[in-house]
Amino acid sequence: VIILEIDPKGNAAAAFRRGDADICLYDKILAVNNRDVEFSTFENVMDQIITSEENDVSLTLGRAPDTITVRWPNGVGVAAKPGDHFCDLAGLAKCKIPYGCTNGGCGTCEQSIVTDKGDQRYVRPCVSRVPKGLKFIDVNP
């Protein structure tokens, strides 16, 4: 089961914002409460989550190699590949960014990013792509 949507107002996004969880769009659910579900149907995985007798449900997640976690201000993370457009990732994360020209000329969409290496810079999501060699990028309005 691949995670295709994270509700920005839900528990996963709140845990992600707090730093309690690292869950991204396109992660694969490998286990629920340490029970293997890698090759299970969506219904089976959801049944195990819903019928769990524990207060907290533990998910073991897998992520494609060479992905970069792009963390958006709304608490949604996207497992991105180098070269992915920031504007596409913002759309997937349901993070609203204002746009004016869509060609990088006006600066309306400009966002501050901080990388896992501590670098801070500004990008224009309408034309910028995810760079290589990083583990995560935090996007700040």
Q: What confidence tens digit (pLDDT) does each residue in 71-86 have?
A: 999 889 999 999 999 9
pTM: 0.80
DSSP classification of residue 85: B
Q: Is the pLDDT of residue 34 over 80?
A: yes
Provide the pLDDT confidence category of residue 6 given band limits of 50, 70 and 90: confident
pLDDT at residue 14 is higher than 90: no
Q: Rounded to an integer, what is the distance from CA 141 to the centroid of its chain?
A: 16
Q: What percent of the chain is modeled with pLDDT above 70?
A: 100
Q: Which residues contact 94 (CB under 8 A, 6 or more apart)?
A: 8, 74, 76
Strands 120-123 and 136-140: unpaired
Cα four-point dihedral sign 17, 47, 5, 58: positive
